[in-house]
Chains A and B, each alone.
Chain A
Amino acid sequence: MVIKLRLDPSSGVATYLQLVHQVKHALRLGVLMPGDRLPTIKEVVSDLAINPNTVAKAYRELEHEGLVVGRPGLGTFVRRSLGSGSTADHTRFRRDLARWVHDCREAGLDQGDMEALFASVLADSVQEGIA
């Protein structure tokens, strides 16, 4: 199994959406790559004690978005990855961000400060984009 799905019962997010989000997250981070097989419905439900329909619904949603494809008798496979930009770009941005995190720490910022700062800058840039 390439990835293992899990649940956060306290999140308040519908179970099938939690599964969708996790697969997308794994696609964005490159943990899941095109051609990888998602865990079968039976594998997921025997791990999480959830209704098979819930997993089917999540996989259907992913298939609808063109991210995965079900091959009868074989499994559900990743069709394309998520996230734009080349791998080289990702590597560069990750390096830049790591340097930024390092500088923040040096200056005495903690994780909460950094998350707030990043979220605020991101929100500002989205605002500018709309304006």
Chain B
Amino acid sequence: MTADRTVRMFGGGSGELTAPAQSPTALEAVRLAKRYRGTWALRECTMSVPAGRVVALVGPNGAGKSTFLHLVAGLIAPTRGSVRVFGEPVGQRAAALARVAFLAQDKPLYDGFTVAEMLRFGRHLNPGWDDALARQRLAELDIPLNRKVGKLSGGQQAQVALTIAVAKRPDLLVMDEPLANLDPVARHDVMCSLMAAVAETQMTVVLSSHVVSDLTNACDWLVVLNRGQVQISGEVDELLATHRMMSGPAELADGMAARMPVISDSRSERQADLLVRTGPGTPLHDPRWSASGVSLEELVLAYLRRPDTTSLPRPTLTISDR
């Protein structure tokens, strides 16, 4: 099946539509930093994301998520460092910007326009506009073209904004809090719709959120920003496979903590629960300890509480500026 075959190209080898052959990297930030007046919103931010991923950018308020996304979209210039999208420095060429769609937090739609007028507006501004795709998506969503944007529900407005971003046929779609202010049903619908668009177009997506549970199954790459720095950047499956909650006797906890990096440490008089990072396939022989998997949400929370710990990819997955 076509979708099947193209989806398989994700993350490996030569993408045919998403990434040019020379760059399987969708997004690359090197020591990226942004200062507003006296304050650093982002500092020394270095990461690299392969093409075809759906990236969850999470972190507390004020961690620098919006700043990072604005830098990626070329809407602001970095104070230091650089960011590249598919190998092209951002903000220097119109061609590079045409490959990126940015969906701001406050859904940039005109209330007085009808949906059809919004489409015409999008077509006018974007050379690669895919009108058929836009119309088909809106038809599938039962959103009437002659309705004024201001008369649509919040969920429908989010869907129209997403449709316009997708119809630009970007290689990278950047979304700042696309699920904020939506009710649970609309959140699910928007994610369904986004995943369908990813299956159809093979684009790379970066979206920020502070609700991790909304993203668990949709995102396959996690970036955690904390205090303006990258705390985690990695493949979700690999992160989950290399973190374990170890439960065992409190008196042995220090010994365990000496053997592997501890992300969270909770001890009672007798028992200790340590969230540890294990190497790939690190064996655990000690029968006095039991190991269990962690959810993405537990993992993120544990790291956010310990801003000094990081989990960054092995050298093979990091920046290729050697």
Contacts and interface: CB of A to CB of B under 8 A. Distances in A.
Contacts of B138: none
Interface in A42-69: 42, 45-56, 59-60
Given A42-B200, A52-B7, A56-B7, 5 more contacts: A42-B199, A46-B195, A49-B192, A49-B194, A55-B7
A34 interface: no
Contacts of B217: 7, 15, 48-51, 54
A48 B192 contact: yes
B1 A71 contact: yes
Contacts of A14: 237
Interface residues of B, number: 28
A76 B220 CA distance: 23
Contacts of B196: 42, 45-46
| Chain B binding surface SS class | helix
Nearest to B11: A53
B8 A60 contact: yes
Contacts of B220: 51, 53-54
A33 to B, nearest CB: 19
B86 interface: no
Contacts of B10: 52-53, 56
Residue in B2, B5, B11, B188 with the greatest tally of chain A CB atoms within 10 Å: B2
Given A7-B217, A41-B199, A42-B199, A59 B4 contact: yes
Interface in A64-89: 70-76
Contact of A75 (B1, B191, B193): B1
Nearest to A16: B237
Contacts of B188: 49
A41 B7 CA distance: 9
Nearest to A45: B195
A129 interface: no
B11 A46 contact: no
A60 B192 CA distance: 22
A112 B217 CA distance: 32
A41 B11 CA distance: 17
B192 A72 contact: no
Interface in B173-198: 188, 191-196, 198
A40 interface: yes
A50 B54 CA distance: 10
A108 interface: no
Count chain B CB atoms within 10 A of each CB in A40, A48, A52 and give the residue with the most. Answer: A52
Contacts, number: 83
Interface of B: 1-5, 7-8, 10-11, 52, 54, 188, 191-196, 198-200, 216-220, 237, 293
A74 B1 contact: yes
A51 B307 CA distance: 28
B195 A72 contact: no
Given A42-B200, A56-B10, A51 B218 contact: yes
A56 B8 contact: yes
A60 B11 CA distance: 15
Given A46-B196, A49-B195, A73 B219 contact: no
A72 B7 contact: no
The 7 residue pairs across chains A and B that have the minimum distance between CB atoms: A49-B191, A45-B195, A46-B196, A52-B199, A50-B217, A56-B7, A42-B199
Nearest to B202: A52
A59 to B, nearest CB: 6
A13 to B, nearest CB: 10
Contact of B1 (A40, A46, A54, A60): A40
B284 to A, nearest CB: 18
Nearest to B240: A14
User: Interface centre among A14, A51, A55, A59, by most B CB within 10 Å?
Assistant: A51
